Every structure is written in structure tokens, then in C-alpha cells.
Structure 1
């Protein structure tokens, strides 16, 4: 492997409590990575301008930026949480939660939720703290705020639901799995009246009222002789079209599932660690070596691949109209043609890595860098 998340977590049960110890993933070091080829000239086929910029502080945790209408939630690693108006960059409200963060920011436009490094679920509304609850295990996945509830995916492969206003825990479902889990966001989303979570290499559809399982679909199954080789957690960044979800299993496979029927449509081997994007015909992703790939949504066969950005440590892509945008670890945004991957344009930010998958909020592309710069970009 030429790329990988830096840290995994080993989990086990003993004496009625959950313990965690860190384990470094055995993968290639930066010094052993091949040098990327020089970038081709910027063809400047797409015109974008910076509409606004906001500083939020260093982002050294797996931030997930969610857009609800024209509203986006962002946070610094130190726990400064903001809700922004993507049209202007104006801060709608801001609050410090008092400790550093592991996961966030999930929100529905009004209520925002995050998980601290102290394993506390903190829920905010209109710039004030509603409540906080201690969790039984860490979480690296942004909580899902939906239907007046807050849902949490734990590193012990538990899924819990809390009342959004009171913080009362409504239910908790826990299952055993492989010994390792990724220290990066997993899959937690809703399709209609079904809560969908990634547990090991499986997508699980749950009743959000009580946590009971409605269906389970394996994207892949663990293989190998040791815990690292058997790691198959599903990673955040789901390419959704209607009730069909396409998702990636870390370093193993990607597949599409009909969440209405709980049926696997297809699964294909793939070697990547980041999430997917897509439309009605194609699913897009980045492999470990930085090759950008488009797979046919109908059957999972490759439609095209592009290797001009290999070894540049790319993040998860975002489909943006006629282009696919992907950030790298030197603060660049690369815009590729959706039909064949040809380079369309390139934008420089502040030189620090793009830390979260870019999102569209209304007509604004919102991008966050590790040094804490939030940018709003619009077509010229």
C-alpha cells in the first residue's frame, strides 16, 4: 500500500469494560513513497472564484463537513464549533465545547452534534449547549442528527440513539467484529425510514426507533492471516442515488446496495481507503496510489481511470456538475472531467492538506484545510 490512515484501534472486552490500545498500521512510509510526477499545466477550463474565507483554527481530527441547505457545520480540533452561512461565510453561531474533538460535525441546520476526545457526545443548538453524555467507547464518525434524534456509531461497533432535546439514551445495539477498527469516519446515514450503518464489512439497515436489524448486506468478508489483513471497515463517503448506496470497504472492495430491499447489487475488489461520490451512471473514487477511477454504477466495471495525480495523497472526491473535484495534501483542488478524468482546472489554497471532503452548500463549494481555513468558492 502507498497510502493509509495513520492509526488503527484494537478493541477487546474484559472485566465488563471496553479497553482500547493504539496500533500503528503496517504500511508504506512517506519516505518510501514514489515521488509524484510533475503536475501538467493548469488548462483553466473551469473558472471559480473565492467568494469568502473564514479561519477556524487547526483541524487535526477527521472532520466531516455536512451541508444542510446553505448551512455548513465546521469545527477545530480544539473544540471551537461554528455553523456558517455558505452564501456569505457569516458565522451564524459559534461556541467552544471545552475539549478537543474526535468526530463531527453532524447537524440538521439547527442542532449540531460532535464527539470529544473524552468520549463525550456533545449536542448544541443556536450557540448553546443542550446536553452532553459520556459514551462507552470512542467514536470517529460524525453523529447523525435526524428525526429529533442523535445517532452515534462507536469504535466498539455499537450504534446508539439519543433524544435530541433531552439527551436520554433511547437504545444501544452492540455487536462483535474484527479486532481492529479504523480511526477515520465510518458509514452512518439514513435512507427513508431506515438507519444505515457500516459494521465491519457489512451495511446494516436498522429501525431507528429501537435499533432492531432490518437487513444486513456484506460488501466484503474478512480475509488474511492477521488482524491488519482482515480489516474491512466501511469508510465514510457514500455515493447515493435514490435508495441505492455505493460504499467502500477499506483496502478490500466497493459495492452497491439497494437499501429498500437490503440487497447487494454488486461488489468488486478495490484498493482504496477514502469515500466515494457518484451520479446515476458512474461511481468515482481514489485508489491507494492516487489513481482516480470511475466505475459503472450498473455493474461495477471500470469506465475510466486517471493516473496523473498518483502519489499525491488525494482525499475523497466530490462530483460537482460536469467536474469531479478532489483535494490533495498540499492544499490543491483538482477538477477533472466527469466523463473521462481529463484535468479541467486546479486551485491552490493555503498549502496545507485538504482535510475534509469538499461539499456543495447551495451554489457554494466549501473547502476546509488542516491549517483551519474554510473557503467558499463559486463559478465565475
Structure 2
């Protein structure tokens, strides 16, 4: 329903529930140690890549989403620093200070950059200056979407809010009943044609960006289990989009594709992963929670190949670039696999602190950001 019915108590409870989810997931990770990954074989280079530049920014510990806009990349750090770099050279083009730690970012249309702070403020920036900020009714762990002169925010309480990009005036708010637990990681929020597509619980929802009214809903994953943690079903950030087709992952439940023109579910397959997807016209790629990398056929959802050489490594959402599908891992390595069969093409090193976000590409440069704040640009040899 459209905003107006949520009380301060309900919003407070939604805030508490998202914190509980973070504690629950962290507890599971601590209570169940991951097996030690097997040593990697010697790197046999099948595709030539070299490091072109590297710069240092403050540390990154929140669910960063790097925005690639033309020849520029926009990223941010824990302390509220938002930086725009020239992807070809690594040269800093602008820097802004939000003034407080961040919970989500960065959304950008190449002109306006937007982030969310830990105090639940959405902040819009242009270059090195702040345009406006607005207090949200709940936490958000998803980078705002900046599109069509507006800034859209996906809340941890299953809300979607639209703001005027020029002055921050709230245009509408779509609210859903809050779940007992939600994920403290980026969700799904993107534009497909004239439809805003958001991940709400285990469903992709098509929203009219002008009014906030729901046009369609499509289930990707269904709730299961006997307790709140087991019944958690959330769509995670990083989607494969091809035309009007969007493929997304429901956390540790399923991978599915829908037609965003009308909300028709094309297929859904069981899958046990916690990070997003990428793909091309033929294949959808993603990593399972145990580090196995899978490719599904985009037309049917049938498995095309599986690579288990990275098993038990914590992998990022992928990037499809050229003939490669690229993952970062928690040790700071960047793995370039073949789109055709999953075989290793190259392995790149950074600073060993762990890759903080899905890799991006801009200006023929592969850009990766580490948790220690290292930003690395790689180019073909």
C-alpha cells in the first residue's frame, strides 16, 4: 500500500528487526566455521591482463555497490567519503564528505550521487557538494537508484521511497508489512524501461515510478523452514538484465528470471547462494554459498556448467566482461573464468584484505575495491 499507515512504533520495530537479522546471520557464520579452501593451482594465464593503476581510499566495511557511469566510477568508504575516479587513469575527479558513516551506496546517474548513512539519512551529492539529505523511516542497505531526475530508496522494512533529485522532496512511499528478519546486505532496485523493479521479500515487484503504484509481482523464491531465520526469503543485489528480462537470486533459496514488461515468471530453480548474479543473452552466472560457480541457461534455467575449483572461498557477485565472468574473493584475489565452460583464464592479486564489492568495468578497465580501501584498475595487455 502507499504510505500513510505506518506508525512510529512499527518503524521502530522494523529497525530492530533488521539489526536482529544481522546478528542472526553473523551468529550462523561464527557457529559454523567454513572448511578451509584447497590451495589454488599455479595461475596459467589464458588472457593477458595487467594492473594499470591503484589508489587508496578509506576502509570499506559496508555493502558497497560501485557505480560505473561512462568512463567514471563512483565509490564510497565507511567514513562517508564519496569519490569519483577516471576509470582509465585512476585520477580523482571529485570527492565529497557526507560527515558520518555509511550504510549503503553508491547510486549515481553520472550527475547526482546518492548514499545512505547509518543514521538513516539519504544524502544526494553533486561533485564535491551536498545537494540535500532526508531522514528515512527505516534502515537501508541498498544503494539508492538515481534515475529520471529522482532518487529511489529501498528500505530494510520492505518500503520503496521516491525523492525529487533536485531538492529531496518526497514524492511517494510504497510500504509493505515488515518481516521479522531481513538481510543486512544490498537488495534489488533497478529501472527497466518505464518500470521501477524492486525486490520485496522473495518477489520482484514492478512499480510505476511516477506514482508508486504496483503494476505486477513475480515470485522468485518462497519461504520455507520452521523458524524466522529458515523462513527468511529476500532477493539479493546483483541481477542479470537482458532487455526486459531480469534474473535475480532469492537468498539461499532460488534463482529465477522474469519478464519485467509484464511480471511473467520465466523460470525458477533451487539454489543455495547469498550473492547476486550476472549474465549475457545465453547464460546466467552466480556463486553458491560453498564457493561453487554455476552457469544456468537463460532460456530454461537448466545448468550449463559448474566450477568447484573455488569451493569454500567467499565470492562476490560476478561481472561479465568480454569472454570472462569475474569474481572477487575474501582473500583479495580476482578470478577470471571462461563464460563458455568455467575454466580459469587468469587470476589477479590486490592487497589481500578481501574484495569489498562486485567488480565493475568502465573505459575498458576492470575496477575492483578492497576492504582496506585499495582501488585497482586492470586493463588488457
Residue of structure 2 in register with 1:265 after alignment: 266
- The 5-angstrom pairing of residues 112-123 of structure 1 reads 112-123=113-124
TM-superposed CA distance for 1:241, in Å, is 0.6
Greater fraction of residues in helix: 2
Deviation at 1:207, TM superposition (A): 0.4
Number of residue pairs the alignment of both structures matches = 369
- SS of residue in 1 equivalent to 2:230: helix
SS of match in other structure, 1:123 = strand
Preserved CA contact (<8 Å) 1:112 1:145: yes
1:190 alignment partner in structure 2: 191
Q: Which runs of 5+ in 2 are unaligned?
A: 1-5
TM (normalized to structure 1)?
Answer: 0.95
| Structure 1 unaligned residues grouped into runs of 5+ | 1-11
Paired position in structure 2 for 1:328: 329
Instruction: Name the SS of the counterpart of 2:182 in structure 1.
Output: strand
Identify which range, 139-148 or 313-322, moves more after superposition. 313-322
Match of 2:239?
238
* TM-superposed deviation, 1:370: 0.3
Q: Counterparts of 2:345 and 2:244 in 1: how far apart (Å)? A: 31
Q: Deviation of residue 18 (structure 1)?
A: 2.4
Q: Deviations over 1:26-54 (max 9, x none)?
A: 52438732111110110111111111111
Shift of 1:366: 0.7
Tell me, in whole angstroms, the C-alpha distance in 2 between the residues paired with 1:261 and 1:162: 25
Asked if the contact 1:178–1:230 (Cα under 8 Å) also holds between the matched residues in 2, the reply is no
Contact 1:177/1:200 (CA < 8 Å) preserved in 2?
Answer: no
Comparing both structures, which one devotes a greater share of its residues to strand?
A: 1
CA RMSD of aligned residues (A): 1.4
Whole-angstrom CA distance in 1 between matches of 2:287 and 2:52: 28
Deviation at 1:319, TM superposition (A): 1.1
CA distance in structure 1 between the partners assigned to 2:187 and 2:29 by the alignment: 23
TM-superposed CA distance for 1:362, in Å, is 2.4
Residue of structure 2 equivalent to 1:50? 51
Report the counterpart of residue 9 of structure 1 in structure 2: none
Matches within 5 A, 1:1-380: 15=9, 17-19=11-13, 20-21=15-16, 22-23=19-20, 24-25=24-25, 26-29=27-30, 32-380=33-381
The one-character-per-residue Cα deviations of 1:272-295 (angstroms, maximum 9, x if unpaired) are 000001011110000010000001
Alpha-carbon offset, residue 330 of structure 1:
0.6
TM-score w.r.t. the length of structure 2 is: 0.94
In the other structure, the counterpart of 1:4 is none
